[in-house]
Amino acid sequence: MTITLYTAATPNGYKVSVALEEMGLAYDVHRIDLAKGEQKSPEFLAICPNGRVPALVDDGFAIFESGAILVYLAEKTGLLMPQDVQGRSRVMQWLMFQMGGIGPMMGQANVFYRYFPEKIPAAIARYQGEGRRLFAVLDRQLANNEFLAGDYSIADIANWCWVRTAKWSGIETDGLPHLLRWKAAIAERPAAQRGIAVPEATKVRSEDDQEARAFASRARTMIEMGKREA
């Protein structure tokens, strides 16, 4: 069987490549050039009717929408998703939180903060403010949980691939220690590091990961100092 990932260097694209790396699945990569409009080509639309990356073809079966791809891969492998009904529901709740909240709000923040030709302060404040509110929801969940839904799961992958680009969206993460701890922990995972290099890493967004790894290093130092003092 052959898995082919159609992707580009976007948070939604990285969600699937990180999951594939975490699951240890072999896959081919077909880079979609968004600047050339390849996502709207008839060939790609035959795979993904919505004309957005990512899409995945598994032995001739096409799946589009990043969240649907993550669920498909988790069910295919039995990995990164609990098998019991309530455990699965917890993962799905936080996955849907990303799909319906984090992704759309950060995406709109990017549009008005980075790309829209006219700067509209009210629109920028609206989407950055909602993004920050959603980050605070994650922070509260992570205050008493190492990961969002129990064990590390596709819900963590989906949210992390967006949260790691907070600086690009202009959303502050200061004062959210549990979110920063979680963000740093995932940034240190080798599979996550490989996944965000598919099809290529981006300099702007990788700056957040460098800060996350520095945060993790400082946290470890503080923990070790505390142990010695005890």
Once rounded to an integer, what is the mean pLDDT over residues 97-125? 97
CA distances from 113 to 70, 102, 122, 125, 133 (A): 29, 16, 11, 9, 17
pLDDT of residue 89 exceeding 60 = yes
Once rounded to an integer, what is the mean pLDDT over residues 23-50? 98
The per-residue pLDDT for 223 is 41
Determine contact, residues 29/198, Cβ cutoff 8 Å: yes
The per-residue pLDDT for 217 is 53
CA 6/CA 138 separation, integer angstroms: 29
What's the DSSP call for residue 3? E
Once rounded to an integer, what is the mean pLDDT over residues 21-42? 98
CA 194/CA 14 separation, integer angstroms: 10
Ranges of each domain in the chain: 3-77, 85-229
CA distances from 57 to 46, 54, 60, 198 (A): 11, 10, 6, 16
**14 confidence band (pLDDT: 50, 70, 90):** very high
85-229 is classed CATH 1.10.10.10: no
The per-residue pLDDT for 179 is 98
Orientation angle between helical segments 154-163 and 177-187, nearest 10 degrees: 100
pLDDT of residue 203 exceeding 80 = no
The per-residue pLDDT for 202 is 75
pTM of the model: 0.89
CA 175/CA 171 separation, integer angstroms: 12
Once rounded to an integer, what is the mean pLDDT over residues 68-83? 98
pLDDT of residue 126 exceeding 70 = yes
Once rounded to an integer, what is the mean pLDDT over residues 73-95? 98
The per-residue pLDDT for 214 is 56
Asked whether the CA dihedral 133, 209, 9, 27 is positive or negative, the reply is negative
CATH of domain 3-77: 3.40.30.10
Once rounded to an integer, what is the mean pLDDT over residues 117-123? 97
**201 confidence band (pLDDT: 50, 70, 90):** confident
Tokens 């009717």 label which residue?
Answer: 49
pLDDT of residue 209 exceeding 90 = no
